[in-house]
Structures are given as C-alpha cells and as structure tokens.
Amino acid sequence: MTIKKAVIPAAGLGTRMLPITKAQPKEMLPVVDKPVIQYVVEEAYHSGIKEILIITGRNKRAVEDHFDRIIFPVKDEGIERLERMLDELSILFVRQKEPKGLGDAVKYAKPFVGDEPFALLLGDNITIPPCIKELVKVFEKYKAPVIALEKLPKERISLHGIIKGEEIEDGIYRIEDFVEKPKVEEAPSDIGIIGRYILTPEIFAYIEELKPGRNGEIQLTDALKVMSMEKTVYGMIFNGRRYDIGDKTEWLKANIELALENKNFQEFKKWLKGKIT
C-alpha cells in the first residue's frame, strides 16, 4: 500500500501576510530563488509521488502559471531543473468556489483521490528534509491515517491545530483529541499539526458532516477529531525543519537560513556576516 497521489491546498487568503498577499498568492512568495509552492511540489516528487492536485481559489492564477511549460529564450539552470521534474509529474488544478476553510478546500479532492490513501501537503509550509517521505513510512507500518506534529513554543500554540495523544513508540502518537487553534490555557498539549498528513478517503464523509468551526470556517482538524473517535489516527513528531510561510517572521527566517545553505549565495553570506558583527 503505497501513496501515489498528493493534494496541495493553496486557496487560503493569506491574511497574516497582508499587504504582501493583497494581489498575489502567499504560495508564490519567493523563498531564496523559488516560490513556496515549488518547494511543496518538490517534496511530493522526492517522496515518490507523481500525481498532484493543487486546490486554488480567487487570486491564485499565478500558481497555475508557474507549472506551465514555456520555452524561455535564455538558458536557466533553475528552469531546466523544474522542467525535468514537470516531465514526470501530472499536476491538476481545481478551484475552491469560496474561501470556507481548509476542510472545505480538501473536499474538492474527493474525485481525484478515489479510493486510495493520499498525501496532503499545505501549500504554505516548507519542510526539510521532506516530511511526507517520513509520514509515508509510518503509514505503511500502521496502515492508518498519520499526521505530522511538532512541539511548539507557547506563543505559537494558538496558531495551530493541537493534539492530545499517547506516545506508543518513540515520536509516534495515537491521537485522542484534536483542537483547532486553542488559547494557550485551553490547549490539551504543546504538540501542533504542521501541515503534512497521510489520509484515507474516509475523511471526506467526516468533512461533509461538519458545521463551521474556528473562525467560522470548515476545519479539517474538526473532521480529524470526529474520525479519531471512531478510527485510530496516528501522529509523528517531525524532527526536521519546518517553515510556516503564512507568517512574516517565519518567511524571513526561511529566506535567510536557506540562502546561507545555498552555494549560489556565498556573497550574501559574507555580506550578512559583516552586518551582524
């Protein structure tokens, strides 16, 4: 049982990134030399997934344009690498009719997913190394939905879905409860959901039953909560790095850290050292 399909919701309004996101999607913000959404598609690709559905919405046309095949009159290493990847991928798009929340966006993937388990990667998070690759391994072992988790500092708890769970082996949890963006004092733990999931098509029936939750939106976390009462849902602590590009500080950190590691930006590294000392 392996994962062949990935769904990438990229329909969020990007309110925490305003005014940058007034007229451009947050998924198209540059991180060093590529837009965020390209990192996410590359993560699926490097995890062995070749069929991708991107869920877009109003203001997101640039996301579709980015994955078009066009010939530029110049040679560019970055474009050539992207083209080689696109040769192997099938990327489809569907448009969420109105911004009613992540749960509602995921619902649009039902016909694409069919009866197979699938990977869900939020289009505004970058993980290094590819988190989905690790989640697939856990899914293959437990043959049940599995969600990537991270221990969060206090000030970031109310920005995430938070879980309560029992650690059944090192870093693997059986999840007992889910709460979307609780106040710190009401959070059941400091373990948050980081935008990488392996789900089964059963999730769609749970989403369909939902009433609007936090912020008046249909929340995927609420569907997972109900599902976890009837079926086992696992969590995996991701020990790599993760940047939430829906947040200005995280976006800046991603740019600086990844530029410092990139051999094409040695000059930038030297310049930054001079600024700091």
Structure tokens at 137: 């391994």
Site residues for ligand G1P, 42-71, by CB under 6 A, read none
Least distance CB 15 / ligand G1P (angstroms) = 9
Of the candidates 123, 165, 195, 213, which one interacts with ligand G1P according to CB under 6 A?
A: 195
Show contacts with ligand G1P in window 105-144 (CB under 6 A).
122, 125
The one among 91, 102, 121, 191 contacting ligand G1P by CB under 6 A: 102
Q: Smallest gap, in angstroms, from Cβ of residue 103 to ligand G1P?
A: 8
Residue with tokens 């959901």: 193
The correct pick among 14, 35, 117, 161 for binding ligand G1P (CB under 6 A) is 161
Which tokens is 100 given? 């009613």
194 interacts with ligand G1P by CB under 6 A: yes
Q: Which of 193, 203, 227, 245 binds ligand G1P (CB under 6 A)?
A: 193
**Sign of the C-alpha dihedral, residues 181, 184, 186, 190?**
positive
Between residues 5 and 160, which has the closer beta carbon with respect to ligand G1P? 160
**Interacting positions 238-267 with ligand G1P (CB under 6 A):** 244, 246
From 20-28, 87-95, 105-113, 187-195, give the range in contact with ligand G1P by CB under 6 A: 187-195
Nearest by Cα to 119 from 238, 5, 233: 5
Q: Are 77 and 165 in contact (CB under 8 A)?
A: no
Write down the least CB distance from residue 134 to ligand G1P, Å.
17
Instruction: Mark residues 8-47: x for contact with ligand G1P by CB under 6 A, - for none.
Output: ----x-----------------------------------
Q: Which two tokens stand for residue 146?
A: 């599995």
Give the Cβ contact number of residue 234 at 10 Å.
Answer: 23
Determine, following the binding rule CB under 6 A, whether residue 222 of this chain makes contact with ligand G1P.
no
Window contacting ligand G1P (CB under 6 A); options: 34-42, 136-144, 217-225, 266-274: 217-225
Pick between residue 24 and residue 89 the one whose CB is nearest to ligand G1P. 24
Nearer to ligand G1P, 165 or 195 (CB): 195
Nearer to ligand G1P, 50 or 253 (CB): 253
Nearer to ligand G1P, 110 or 181 (CB): 181
Distances from the Cα of 23 to the Cαs of 28, 35, 55, 133, 162, in angstroms? Answer: 11, 15, 18, 33, 31
Nearest approach, Cβ of residue 69 and ligand G1P (Å): 30
The residues binding ligand G1P (CB under 6 A) are: 12, 102, 122, 125, 160-161, 180, 192-195, 219-221, 244, 246
